[in-house]
Amino acid sequence: MRLRVVANHERTIPMAEMSSGRLAALQDHPDECQGNQSATREGEAPRQLPRGYVLRQRVNQDHEEIQSLLRRAYPPPHGSECVWSMAALEQHLQHFPEGQFVIQDADAVLRATSTTLRVGRERAFSPHTWMAITGMGTLSTHDPAGEILYGVNIAVDPDCQGRGLAHALYRTRFELGRRLGCSAFAAGARIPGFHSMAGQFSPEEYVARVIGGEIFDPTLSKQLALGFHVVGVLPDYAYDHETLGHAALIVKNLRGEG
């Protein structure tokens, strides 16, 4: 399995590839993950949560509501695998409690959730699947000394889209990573718009066009706006009907940024 390079029309954007010196450089110096420009520039004023909404760390009492939230966020044809089991949710808090967050509304209903772990630099920047890097969703792979904060999952209630909830969760996790001394935040970014264009473009071509602003992807475009940079495509990352299994490996430097 290789971390596949992303091509943009007739030129190649200098992305990471497992056999290349570029990936080795990222593993040694994740501050250098500036291989491409975001589709939109960072620096917009942070959005405030709606009045009465609260962002806090997850507790065990949240778990049934999280399952309900995930069912709303991933309706059919997404499958039951998109909903955390109670056992997995409990293990998240055993392995890395400070990395798990929720947002509740003014009526104390959970409207968003995120799951995070720490991993070593080499693991984060090498080819991987979601199942392998997350310990099949249990976070058993969490490394308390890991230099990279890794985004496992983020979900927002469909009724609360566009209110800045995902932005707030990302901002809080960036702050957590800096506080823990992590050098970067990485994740396998879903590309849910890909299925409708799979007949026209390869995953690499699709991602390159999203980076260039030619295509708006409901997930990746928003992550680029938060200051993430794409360093490659992860084939067979995690299958669903929208991404056809592909993800973009995204990285945000956490050192020297506000």
* pLDDT, tens digit (0-9, with 9 covering 90-100), for 87-107: 999 999 999 999 999 999 999
Q: How many CB atoms lie within 10 A of CB 60?
A: 11
Locate 123 and state its tokens: 């693991």
Tell me the pairing of strands 148-156 and 184-190. parallel
- Distance, first Cα to last Cα, the chain: 35
Q: 154-173, pLDDT tens digit by residue?
A: 999 999 999 999 999 999 99
Contact 191/220 with Cβ under 8 angstroms? yes
Q: Residue 83, CB half-sphere, CA atoms under 13 Å: how many?
A: 20
In the prediction, which pLDDT does 47 show?
66
pTM of the model: 0.84
Predicted confidence band at 6 (pLDDT cuts at 50, 70, 90)?
A: low
Give pLDDT, residue 71: 96
Residue in this structure with the two tokens 């932005």, named with its chain if needed: 167
Amino acid code (one letter) for 240: D
The CA–CA distances, whole Å, from 24 to 33, 126, 234, 257 equal 11, 9, 17, 23
Angle subtended at Cα 249 by Cα 35 and Cα 237, rounded to the nearest 5 degrees: 155
Q: Is the pLDDT of residue 258 over 60?
A: no
Query: Do the beta carbons of residue 185 and residue 151 sit within 8 Å?
Result: yes
What ranges do the domains of the chain cover? 7-252
For 7-252, CATH number?
3.40.630.30
Q: Which two tokens stand for residue 221?
A: 């475009």
- Answer whether the bond into residue 127 is a cis peptide, omega within 30°: no
- Encode pLDDT of 38-72 as tens digits: 333 344 445 689 999 999 999 999 999 999 999 99
- Beta strands 247-253 and 148-156, pairing class: unpaired
